[in-house]
Amino acid sequence: MVAHCAALLVLTDRSVYLMFVIDFQTHPDRYRHWRLGVDGRVATLDMDVDPDGGLHDGYKLKLNSYDLGVDIELADAVQRLRFEHPEVGAVVLGSMKERVFCAGANITMLAGAPHPLKVNFCKFTNETRNGIEEATAESGQRYLAAINGTAAGGGYELALATDHIMLIDDGSASVALPEVPLLAVLPGTGGLTRLVDKRFVRRDRADVFCTIEEGIKGSRAVEWKLIDELVPGSVFDERVADRANEFADASPRPADAVGVPLTPLDRNFSDNGVVYSSVTVTINRSARTAEIVVKGPTGPAPSDTEAAGSAGADWWALRAARELDDAILHLRVNELEIGTWIIRTEGDMEAVLDHDRFLHEHDDNWFVHEVMLYWRRILKRVDVTSRTIISLIDPGSCFGGVLAELALASDRTYMFLGTTEDDDRTAVLALSESSRGVLPMSNGLARIGTRFWGDDEGLRAAEETIGTSLDADAAMQAGLVTEIYDDIDWDDELRIMFEERTSFSPDCLTAMEANLRFPGPETLETKIFGRLTAWQNWVFQRPSASGETGALRRYGTGLRPEYDKRRV
């Protein structure tokens, strides 16, 4: 069986069937493409791609080229370094292939992959590389790239995600972004943006660089700011080790802390969804919806950081985060026709707020800080997911603290007004310090800042509600929900809304939602997910790239691609 494709034997009332899904859960013991090593304060993460380890049949992962399966392992390694190795202050990204760092995304895979897989592949690789940058900026684990040969396309983009790039000076090693001249597509993992926004490469030089198939090497690569250091081959390994130790010595990571093992998730797949301990996904295939229910904690927050560390991966704040993250990735990649996600919560609001307060009060602890950063990444993943997202705040829900951010991340939020004949509880929404900007969107703003962009008075009024519990009328008055309905109208109004939503073009909804979610300033991340991803999405469907005579199809055949010469 190919890597990261799980064969799930699912029992239903009527039949037993075999379902293949892409699984985002793995472990270093099962890696086929990466070698992770830790030596004191420095970790090494070496790429050693198994050519026969592709996610699907029909291509070979030669020259450290990669597919989604390779990146799933990379994302897992980055995550484990943050949680399981608090002592690590520097991470060296390298290669075990002689004279090859990474050839980038596998071209045969891209040429043969259906469009949704191409797009999901690019989105996940972007999120992984953003996670590397966040680890450097927020976690004190500084990444450096040790390029021992050719770094082309996505290989150079991987290096660009690190904080320091070292290139061996052997007369042939080079860096390149050859997608435009060779493949008629764009560098899909932020390469264009990072050249000019992160490394401050002059735009005319960036233009030249992105149209040179063979790339740039030697002192010119340093002069153009494409790399940070050019190192003679005779001292390359030694110089890389020295630089890594220098970064590690300057890291604030606690050298004597004990890591938290990321134990396997407890989950059960069926044809109708996935059940975890704190998250349940229920799919309605006829309606093309998925209901995601996040359950709050059943007990109080840990008494102190030592107790949180002892609970480890079973602490609700981390366990729920990991389960929600896995559910999001599963739905995004394996359930393409489920276009609307309905987010609900269940549990004790006070318990949720207790755990939320603990996160903020102990954010100076490395483990607690990592859990908070993980919620930041998950919420960003929600923000850029190409699905309609609707939150329903009803009696018994617990949209408070970090969970309230799920409601604010939604395209629409509906709240139940009053009580029912069978339940005297009222629906409540409770913003906390989590809404003040510690969990920013890709545009750098808090979600309430994005919600009230250009409305300073509305933003001040919303911020004044932080720390209080709001019923439906108060939440509506504060502008924090879309509509409120009582027991008479709740079911009918929601049914009409969902039926209307599913009648629209999925393509139009994806484009509309992506345009509306990020008002305000543009950042490196919004350029990658909003501008670059949109263009790449379009380019991937153009005949010049993906047509029968396009560059992706004819790459490696010896035949020249045929381009549609019209500018549109």
Q: Phi/psi class of residue 401: alpha, beta or left (left: φ > 0; alpha: ψ in -120 to 50)?
A: left
CATH superfamily entry for domain 25-249: 2-enoyl-CoA Hydratase; Chain A, domain 1 (3.90.226.10)
pLDDT of residue 401: 98
State the average pLDDT over residues 273-300: 97
Is the pLDDT at 13 greater than 90? The verdict is no
Give the C-alpha separation, 436 to 459, whole Å: 11
Instruction: Read off the DSSP letter of residue 216.
Output: B
Common-topology check for domains 25-249 and 268-516: yes
Predicted confidence (pLDDT) per residue in 225-244, tens digit: 999 999 999 999 999 999 99
Give the C-alpha separation, 524 to 522, whole Å: 7
Q: Where are the domains of the chain?
A: 25-249, 268-516
Predicted confidence (pLDDT) per residue in 493-546, tens digit: 999 999 999 999 999 999 999 999 999 999 999 999 888 888 888 899 999 999
Predicted confidence (pLDDT) per residue in 144-158, tens digit: 999 999 999 999 999
With cut-offs at 50, 70 and 90, classify the pLDDT of residue 6: low
CB-based contacts of 466, cutoff 8 Å, min separation 6: 431, 432, 433, 435, 436
State the average pLDDT over residues 9-21: 42
pLDDT of residue 532: 84
With cut-offs at 50, 70 and 90, classify the pLDDT of residue 21: confident
Is the pLDDT at 10 greater than 70? The verdict is no
Predicted confidence (pLDDT) per residue in 385-418, tens digit: 999 999 999 999 999 999 999 999 999 999 999 9
State the average pLDDT over residues 441-464: 97
Determine the Cα angle at 450 with ends 373 and 536, to 5°: 75
Is the pLDDT at 11 greater than 60? The verdict is no
pLDDT of residue 67: 96
Q: At residue 565, what are phi and psi to the nearest 5 degrees?
A: -80, -5
Average pLDDT in the chain = 94
Predicted confidence (pLDDT) per residue in 218-227, tens digit: 999 999 999 9
> Smallest Cα–Cα separation from 70: which of 4, 116, 160?
4
Q: How far is CA 564 from CA 179, 301, 318, 543, 549, in A?
A: 17, 60, 50, 7, 10
Is the pLDDT at 470 greater than 50? The verdict is yes
Is the pLDDT at 18 greater than 70? The verdict is no
With cut-offs at 50, 70 and 90, classify the pLDDT of residue 20: low
CATH class of 268-516: alpha beta
Is the pLDDT at 203 greater than 70? The verdict is yes
